[in-house]
Every structure is written in C-alpha cells, then in structure tokens.
Structure 1
C-alpha cells in the first residue's frame, strides 16, 4: 500500500489526513506500518482522496498476492 508515500508526496500530516477522512491518527499510523489491515471502504476513500486508482493505491503486486 502506498499510503505513506502518497501522504508525504502531498505534504499531508497524519493529523490533517485524520481530520479529512475521519479516521484516528493512530489508525493511519498503523496502516502505514502494516500493523493493521484496511477495510476496502477506507482504501477506496483514500484512493479518491489522493486522486489515484485503487490499483495504484494498493499496488498491483499486493493485488496479485491476494488468495
């Protein structure tokens, strides 16, 4: 997942992203560290937020590894 990369590229802080999408800062941090899985609804919301496709957000290599 490209969350951290996209967030940094856009110059967005954890707090700003938290406020914008309505998710706790700690959850965003856990997503970026791979400590917590993200539900599809949030992945779609974040892809739209960053203006990328879901495939671009998740990364095609991760989609290929889903069984």
Structure 2
C-alpha cells in the first residue's frame, strides 16, 4: 500500500477544488478527521476509502495503490489453480514432474 496515501487524498481533494469541510460533509465525518487523514495521523477505514474514491471519481487502486505491486494474479493463474484443485495427489505429482522438465 502506498505509505503516503494521506498526501494523495489531499491532492485529489485540492485538484477537484473541494475543501476539507465539503469532503467531511460528503463522507459524514468531521473536518478534523479529514485533516488528520491528510497529515497521516489517522488511517481511513476501507469503507471510507471506498466512499472517498467514488467521491473523487477514481478507483481504490488509484487512490492507495496495489498492496503487492510485484504480484498480479491473472486469469491464467486462476484457470490453472481451478484445474489443479481437481487432480488427485498422484496426478499432482506427475504435473509437478512435468513442470520441472519444462523448466530445464
């Protein structure tokens, strides 16, 4: 997760020309809460992060970044895992040996 998402939250608010009071009213929190978030003193709950991203017209990923940017699970990963779960242990061992051969 981006360590400085409070700063990003402030940048989105400022770029849209909104005040802390306006954002606080939309999110049903206090302006002091928004100030603390922007200064990194308080972390927003997931619910508020979602509401904030919708208010700003951005995705949650755009707001806080990916938790594990080095890992992106793809459709092929999901498809492989679905099929592997159907195999019995002997079939899994054969598959593992085959994969090891391919990697040589």
Please confirm whether the aligned pair reaches a TM-score higher than 0.5, indicating the same fold.
yes
In the other structure, the counterpart of 1:37 is 43
Unaligned runs of 5+ in 1: none
- What is the TM-score when the length of structure 1 is the normalising length? 0.85
Matched positions, count: 63
Unaligned runs of 5+ in 2: 70-104
Larger radius of gyration: 2
- What is the TM-score when the length of structure 2 is the normalising length? 0.57
Q: Which has the higher contact order (CA 8 A, sep 6+)?
A: 1
Residue-by-residue CA offset, 1:28-51 (whole Å, 9 max, x unaligned): 000000001111000000011101
Residue-by-residue CA offset, 1:15-64 (whole Å, 9 max, x unaligned): 1111111111000000000001111000000011101000001133xx23
Specify the SS of the correspondent of 1:19. Answer: helix
In the other structure, the counterpart of 2:52 is 46
